[in-house]
Amino acid sequence: MPHPGGEYNAPRDAFDLYTPRFVKGKGVDKMGLCPICIEPPERGGEGKKVWLAMKFSAFNYHMQYHHGISASTGRPLSPPIDFRVVTRPSPRKAERAKVKQGKCHKCRSWIAVETVKDIDVKVKELFWWKHAVACHGASVLVGGVFEEDDVYEVLRKAHEDTA
């Protein structure tokens, strides 16, 4: 893969999915390259360069609400611990009669994970991620969010040695 441009920007650690690996510009013109979008589709990315403004939160918004990556931890936002479907009392025309909710591991509340409008959305997880960003902080569910393969084991051991 050719160099994407900009200057290398080191992540916090080997498991940091949030920090842009490349940045360019300064001050209000500073931009970060999305470290997920740049990856090829076979690695979970989109295979394209997506440069986003750092000063005006475009990068932050993209990472949290397009990819579900926490700015505070650099890891994926924790998913709901349970799901349920509730019937809405008086849905209007073009609204769902039933809505799916997810239970939060931190506040223990049931949160709507889909819109009441009877439409498809671009990012299905958006409603959950908005709650998770506001509620979870650095709190995460115990358990793996990474593919625990040989590469993961090498990085985990190296991370433990430096911690």
User: Which residue ranges make up each domain of the chain?
Assistant: 7-76, 82-135
On the question of pLDDT at 25 being above 90, the answer is yes
What is the pLDDT at residue 26?
A: 94
What is the pLDDT at residue 106?
A: 94
Query: Average per-residue pLDDT in the chain?
Result: 91
Using DSSP, how many helices (H) and how many strands (E) does the chain show?
3, 7
Mean pLDDT of 1-13: 90
* 102 strand-pairing partners: 83, 111
Give the pLDDT band (50/70/90) at residue 163.
Answer: low
What is the pLDDT at residue 139?
A: 83
Round to whole Å and give the CA distance between 54 and 49.
15
On the question of pLDDT at 146 being above 80, the answer is no
* 117 strand-pairing partners: 95
Mean pLDDT of 93-104: 95
What does pTM read for this prediction? 0.84
On the question of pLDDT at 144 being above 70, the answer is no
